[in-house]
Amino acid sequence: MLDVATTSPRMLSGAPRLDVGVVRLAFAVVCVVALVARYIWGLGSATFAPSNYYAYLTIQSNIAFATVMAIAGVLACRTARDPDWLTTVRAGVLTCTLTAGIVFAVIVQQSGSNTVPIDVPWSDIILHFWLPPLAALEWFLSPGRGRAPWRIVVFVLGYTLSWGGLTMLRGTAVGWYPYYFLDPGQLDGVAEFFTLSGLSLAVFTVVGLGVVGVTRLRRKA
Q: How many CB atoms lie within 10 A of CB 79?
A: 19
Could you read off the pLDDT of 140-188 as tens digits, one per residue? 998 888 999 999 999 999 999 999 999 999 999 999 998 888 888 888 8
Residues contacting 158, CB < 8 A, separation 6+: none
d(CA 89, CA 94): 9
Query: H-type helices in the chain, by residue range?
Result: 18-43, 50-53, 57-78, 84-111, 122-125, 131-141, 151-174, 190-214
Check whether 216 has a pLDDT greater than 80.
yes
Could you read off the pLDDT of 1-56 as tens digits, one per residue? 334 444 444 334 457 899 999 999 999 999 999 999 999 998 887 778 888 999 99
* Cβ atoms of residues 16 and 47 within 8 Å: no
**pTM for this structure?**
0.87
The pLDDT confidence band at residue 202, using thresholds 50, 70 and 90, is very high
* Cβ atoms of residues 24 and 86 within 8 Å: no
- pLDDT value at position 219? 60
Q: Position 60: which residue type?
A: Q
- pLDDT value at position 187? 83
* Cβ atoms of residues 66 and 126 within 8 Å: no
Nearest by Cα to 204 from 169, 143, 145, 163 = 163
Residues in the chain: 221
Residues contacting 170, CB < 8 A, separation 6+: 55
**What is the CA angle 91-21-152, rounded to 5?**
10
- pLDDT value at position 24? 97
d(CA 219, CA 221): 6
Could you read off the pLDDT of 55-112 as tens digits, one per residue? 999 999 999 999 999 999 999 999 999 999 999 999 999 999 999 989 888 877 776 5
